[in-house]
Amino acid sequence: MPYSMNEAKVSVSFSCQRCLQPIHVDDSFASLDEHTLAELALPINSHLELDLESASFDHLVRPFRVAESTTDVNGGFMLLSDGPDKEPIGHNLRIKAELFDTLSNNSEIDHPLCDECTDTLLELMDKQLKVAEEEWNDYNNYLKKLETTDDVPDIAKLEQELNGLQLEENKLMDELSALSSEEQSIRQAVQEQEKEKQRLECEEQKYWREYTKHRRDVITTEDEFRSLECQMVYAQSQLEKLKKTNVFNATFYIWHSGPIGTINNFRLGRLPSVAVDWSEINAAWGQTCLLLSALARKMSFSFKQYRLVPYGNHSYIEVLGEGKELPLYGNGGFRFLWDSKYDAAMVAFLDCLQQFKEEIVRRDTDFCLPYLMEKGKIEDASTGSSFSIKIQFNSEEQWTKALKYLLTNLKWMLTWVSSQFTEEKRLANATPDSRNDPPQ
């Protein structure tokens, strides 16, 4: 029975082997005779099978062995009791311990047990008893059925059927063995295919890496190709523009600023109302001398008696055979107006322009200029008026108009040379193509 604190103090020597609660053993267990002990030593039920692993016996404790405990000197213990002992405590304890050991050895349940654990054990045994009774009833009913049936089984037929089943079993076992061998070979083939798959995956990864690299190279090459195409188109357009561009016209721009002629925006001439600085006039003469010299060199023409020396705003004309230099620049002032070298240089330049015009007429008889040039004067054929190129004994208006006519004639010569240069380029470009024309 379970131990309660409300009860009087009692001697406690054992605990429940399931719930570990202390229990009090009845005193009647201390006075057992030899016949009772012999009966208890008999097997209780050698065929009893209990589910000791079920949830109802989850607190299983190994049985307590007093004999082993008392013989252990080092690990021994002493049980004390407050009540008066009628007999020696060691003798009574040994008898109870031997009794519980005997019960535990004769069954699959360890003793002692408390009341609650005993009730649980009894319920479990009742369930097993009901299951055994149901099985016995089933077997008994089947036995009675067999006894009431008159059919006698044909042993020979059953043995023949058994032999057939054994043969079929052997056949199936052979098939199973063959299938096992086939399965083994298939497994080996699968392993080989797995290895081949891994190899192919590695090759695929290598292929994709190479493909990505080559694809990147292709994209880069295509970008470079498109860039080169754009550059080529741009270069082609610039080339076409340059082919249509006249070098002389682009380099020497001849125009006018009111009544004053200009070359590359430098005014050549001056008026009382328009005071042009002499440094600008000298720069204009330098550009004019450079243009005529370049045109003559382009046409492989040499002037008679003169050589043009373009030298910026200090250009001059060298008289061949005399070693004299005629300046195409001045600084104004009273002394300059009486210096004949400046007028001689302008007359010499006009003579060179006339020589170059005659060379052009020799090559192209249809060429003519809008203004006639002769002995230092320029004549307007439409009006019959002539203007001197000299500055001495001349007004600034007439001198400036003569210079303007000079630039106009020079621009006509520039246009004719440019047309000849463009025609030469056209013929040069057409010559290679004509070689590829089919024969007529």
Instruction: List pLDDT tens digits, range 109-156.
Output: 777 888 888 888 889 889 999 999 999 999 999 888 877 876 666 788
Which has the closest alpha carbon to 244: 417, 414, 422, 416? 422
Kindly provide the b/e burial profile for residues 154-191, where b requires at least 16 CB atoms within 10 angstroms of the residue's own CB: eeeeeeeeeeeeeeeeeeeeeeeeeeeeeeeeeeeeee
Q: What is the CA radius of gyration of the chain?
A: 70
Residue 394 domain-assigned (yes or no): yes
pLDDT digits (tens, 9 = 90+) for 215-246: 999 999 999 999 999 999 999 999 888 877 77
280 plus 392 within the same structural domain: yes
Position 31 scores a pLDDT of 66
The model's pTM is 0.47
Same domain as 390, residue 321 = yes
209, 347: one domain: no
Of the pLDDT bands very low, low, confident and very high (cuts 50, 70, 90), residue 214 is: very high
What phi and psi, each to the nearest 5 degrees, are found at residue 283?
A: -65, -35
Residue 358, domain member (yes or no): yes
- The whole-angstrom separation of Cα 295 and Cα 113 is 139
* Domain identity same for 226 and 373: no
Over range 205-210, report the average pLDDT: 95
Mean pLDDT of 282-310: 92
Looking at the fold, whether 359 and 218 belong to one and the same domain comes out as: no
- pLDDT: which is higher, 376 or 94: 376
Return the structure tokens found at 252.
């020497």
| CATH code (residue 296) | 1.10.418.40
Angle at 186 between CA 184 and CA 188, to 5 degrees: 70
Mark whether 35 and 94 lie in a shared domain: yes
- Asked whether residue 203 is assigned to any structural domain, the reply reads yes
According to the model, what pLDDT value does residue 52 have? Answer: 45
Of 36-45, 93-102, 359-368, give the lowest mean pLDDT range.
36-45
Least confident residue range of 83-97, 272-286, 363-377, 386-400: 83-97
Residues 261 and 196 in one domain: no
- The alpha carbon torsion through 241, 247, 251, 254 (nearest 10 deg) reads -100
Residue ending a domain, choose from 215, 245, 275: 245
Average pLDDT for the chain: 80
- How many domains would you assign to the chain? 3
pLDDT of residue 294: 92
Percentage of residues in the chain with pLDDT exceeding 90? 40
Shared domain check, 396 and 261 = yes
- Helix H, strand E, coil C: the string for 220-275 is HHHHHHHHHHHHHHHHHHHHHHHHHCCHHHHHCCEEEECCEEEECCEEECCCCCCC
Mean pLDDT of 343-352: 92
Scan for tokens 């090459």, then name that residue. Answer: 221
Which of 8-17, 115-124, 384-393 is least confident? 8-17
Do 216 and 293 lie in a common domain? no
Look up the domain containing 306 and give its range. 250-423
Is 129 part of any domain? no
180, 209: one domain: yes
At 193, is the secondary structure helix, strand, or coil? Answer: helix
**Residue 36 or residue 253, greater confidence:** 253
Examine the domain organization and report whether 180 and 279 are in the same domain. no
Would 50 be classed as within a structural domain? no
Q: Is residue 120 part of a domain?
A: no
Q: Are residues 337 and 295 in the same domain?
A: yes
On whether residue 430 sits in a domain, the answer given is no
- By mean pLDDT, which of 63-67, 167-171, 408-412 is the weakest? 63-67
Q: Is residue 159 part of a domain?
A: no
